[in-house]
Copies of this chain bind each other. A is one copy, B any other.
Amino acid sequence: LRKGFPEVIFGQGKTAEQIAGIMEKMNAQDDRVLVTRLSEQKAAHIQALFPQSVYHADARVLLLEKTPPPICGRGPVLVMSAGTSDIPVAKEASLTARAMGNEVETVYDVGVAGIHRLFSHKESIERASVLVVAAGMEGALPSVVAGLVNRPVIAVPTSVGYGTSLGGMTALFAMLNACSSNVAVVNIDNGFGAGYMAAMINRP
């Protein structure tokens, strides 16, 4: 049905054996398989069975493909993160968007407390066709970025923070209240969903 897109397995809550079993079947018929939320331990087990697979430890993503897909999106997808601790979620988004045939650019660690750092990436921001912005704590970055462009911004709240960050709920609610209107939001820590949505929007 969803031709050209990779098959995706949600790794959390499945055993390595279960995942490998599903991969076996998919591999026969699909060009690429993406496994998300995969722990290092399970990844080791799976890589023993699929030596050609690549595991991205920080993003907890495993990718099984012969060659990367050709670029077919309408323009570059820009993936940004507010802090260093938000990078794993941002990487999950960028790996997903790339596996779905998009050129992906990344800009990390440009939180709103040092707004000048953000402005030094003005060109990348303006060039982007779709933007994914990951932020934890107060989750303010998507609103500021969206104010700079006329393109859709997918905001991903992360669970980074402590106390009143409420495991990402504060960032989530802040993003849903973004004063810029070109922002839509996905679940907390859902880098995959953000990358997927960006790819969907970027389809020609």
**Which chain A residues have a beta carbon within 8 Å of chain B's beta carbons?**
1-2, 5, 8, 12-14, 18, 82-85, 111-115, 137-140, 143-144, 146-148, 150-152, 154, 157, 159-190, 192-193, 196-197, 200-201, 203
Measured CB to CB, the closest approach of chain B to A137, in angstroms, equals: 4
* Oligomer: number of copies: 8
Is the CB–CB distance between A178 and B138 below 8 Å?
yes
Is the pair A143, B143 in contact by a Cβ cutoff of 8 Å? Answer: no
Considering the chains assembled together, what is the distance between the CA atoms of A182 and B114 in angstroms? Answer: 13
- Residues of the B chain whose Cβ atoms lie less than 8 Å from the Cβ of A203: 150-151
Q: Is the CB of A113 within 8 A of B174?
A: no
Q: Min CB distance, A73 to chain B, in Å? A: 13
A200 — which chain B residues lie within 8 A by C-beta? 150-152, 182
